Amino acid sequence: MGTIEQDTELLRFSTAGSVDDGKSTLIGRLLYDSKSIFEDQYDQIKATSERRGEEGVNLALLTDGLKSEREQGITIDVAYRYFATPKRKFIIADTPGHIQYTRNMVTGASTANVALILIDARNGILEQTRRHAFISSLLQIPHIVVCINKMDLVDYGEEAYEAIKDEFSNFSNKLDVKDIHFIPISALKGDNVVDRSENMPWYEGQTLMHYLENVHIGSDHNFIDCRYPVQHVIRPYSDEYHDYRGYAGRIAGGIFKKGDEVLLLPSGFTTKIAKIETYDGELEEAHPPMSVTMLLEDDLDLSRGDMIVRPNNKPEVSQDLDAMICWFDDNPMQQPRGKYTIRHTTQEARCIIQEVLYTLDINTLHRNQEDTKVKMNDIARVAIRTTKPLFTDAYRNNRITGSFVLVDEGTNNTVAAGMII
């Protein structure tokens, strides 16, 4: 093992599965087989399993960290887990599968490169499977891997696997997903998780770990459309940097180069990039998801919430948004014409929900135009009017400039997540 591994990539994946699909067991298995579980953690969950009179060591206890989760034996909130192989570092967003926690699943899916969907081989595709697949497509997770689990309980039979695969493919054809992969596994016994299964010689594909280590994620960011939301203005107020004015931010899209002509929004002025700076020195170019500081050739009005783009490639500049939202809050959406704070990139504005076009039954994908009440965990298509123009892209082109959240002005809670169409 090298001392300083600079070249490993970071892969974020979310897991989703219904309550008894064995999701937590699978994560426990990945951690255990990649030797990412520590002895003291293992001893602790072993002792807990024994105390509760459970058979074997319950690997699910590794991820279910909250008291109420351990008591109920289910995952309630998103838990983040980490493991590494010599090839990659992994961040798992482990999300609950139960319908009442759809919002947590949306949260975990928002930054994932890969969605891992689990299906119990005995039960086939359930409502929950469809829901998870739909949310993965709604959140535009670039890669989906479907693990058909508990193969040990169907005698490692190929027919069971093929039947589920076909059924899933029929359903996913209706969804907007780019890349789907199927793997027959047994999380409990370890088949095809890290090591190849000897019980399923008919399966010639890769193991789950091999897939996670090798799936191409290099093009998951948008490297075409230059978007730089100004996050913070750096003014040192020191003698050495008297007139210094640096625009700090994180590249949301495209590749910015020193000397590039840029357009500032909303002012519409054009200027050039004088320098791209970091503490470690100047850069010739910067790309997502780097955090940098830009200096411009001209002294122009630019502050947090504004955006630096290229003159010939502008985002949508508009006060009207057409979006899909997922409702998160206990309190249903105020209707009609509910007013909320909207946060988009580094921008904040107020908004009115002008119209709910339909709510979506995420099990059948049926668009319900009659019942437009929006309650917790509901997915709806809405038209929103903002108090000032936002600089947006379609979510499918850019997950950063295409997403927003709504905040309740009374409770300050984040009440909804939105994806711009």
Partner 1 sequence: MNYQLSHLRELEAESIYILREVAAQFEKPVLMFSGGKDSILMVHLAMKAFYPARIPFPLLHVDTGHNFPETIEFRDNMVKKLGAKLVVGHVQTAIDSGMVREEKGVNASRNGLQTAVLLDELEKGKYDAALGGARRDEEKARAKERFFSHRDEFGQWDPKNQRPELWNLFNGKKQYGEHFRIFPISNWTELDVWQYLALEEVELPSLYFAHKRKVFAREGTLLADTPIIERRPTEQLIEKMVRCRTIGDMTCTGVWESEADTLEKIIQEVSTTRMTERGGRTDDKRSETSMEDRKKKGYF
Selected from 169, 214, 335, 413, the binder of partner 1 by CB under 8 A is 413
Site residues for partner 1, 201-240, by CB under 8 A, read: 217-218, 221, 223, 231-232, 234-238, 240
Closest CB 388 distance from partner 1, rounded Å: 17
Residue whose CB is less far from partner 1, 198 or 239: 239
Residue whose CB is less far from partner 1, 161 or 404: 404
Q: Which residues pair with 270 in a beta bridge?
A: 263
Site residues for partner 1, 290-329, by CB under 8 A, read: 290-291, 293, 304, 328
Site residues for partner 1, 61-80, by CB under 8 A, read: 62-63, 65-68, 70, 76-80
Q: Which residues pair with 321 in a beta bridge?
A: 384
User: CB under 8 Å to 81, separation ≥6 — which residues?
Assistant: 27, 31, 62, 63, 91, 92, 94
Selected from 55, 243, 279, 370, the binder of partner 1 by CB under 8 A is 279
Kindly give the pairing relationship between strand 9-16 and strand 291-296: unpaired
Site residues for partner 1, 117-176, by CB under 8 A, read: none
Binding segment toward partner 1, per CB under 8 A, in 150-158, 172-180, 189-197, 288-296: 288-296
**Would you state the structure tokens that stand for residue 2, as one six-digit string?**
């090298």
* Residues in binding contact with partner 1, number by CB under 8 A: 84
Using alpha carbons, select from 417, 391, 225 the residue that is nearest to residue 329: 417
Residue 236: half-sphere exposure toward Cβ, Cα within 13 Å: 9
Kindly give the pairing relationship between strand 114-120 and strand 143-149: parallel
Position 412 contacts partner 1 (CB under 8 A): yes
Kindly give the pairing relationship between strand 316-327 and strand 180-184: unpaired
Position 3 contacts partner 1 (CB under 8 A): yes
Q: What is the DSSP string of 141-165?
A: -SEEEEEEE-GGGGTT-HHHHHHHH
Q: Are the C-beta atoms of residues 401 and 227 closer than 8 Å to each other?
A: yes
Closest CB 112 distance from partner 1, rounded Å: 11
Site residues for partner 1, 237-266, by CB under 8 A, read: 237-238, 240-241, 244, 246, 248-250, 255
Position 394 contacts partner 1 (CB under 8 A): no
**Would you state the structure tokens that stand for residue 376, as one six-digit string?**
């917790």
Closest CB 241 distance from partner 1, rounded Å: 5
Structure-derived torsion over alpha carbons of residues 411, 104, 169, 156, reported in degrees to the nearest 10: -160
Closest CB 264 distance from partner 1, rounded Å: 18
Site residues for partner 1, 88-127, by CB under 8 A, read: 88-89, 91, 103-104, 106-107, 110-111
Dist. CA 224–CA 111, nearest whole Å: 19
Angle ∠(250,252,254) on CA atoms, nearest 5? 115
Closest CB 317 distance from partner 1, rounded Å: 20
Site residues for partner 1, 354-393, by CB under 8 A, read: none
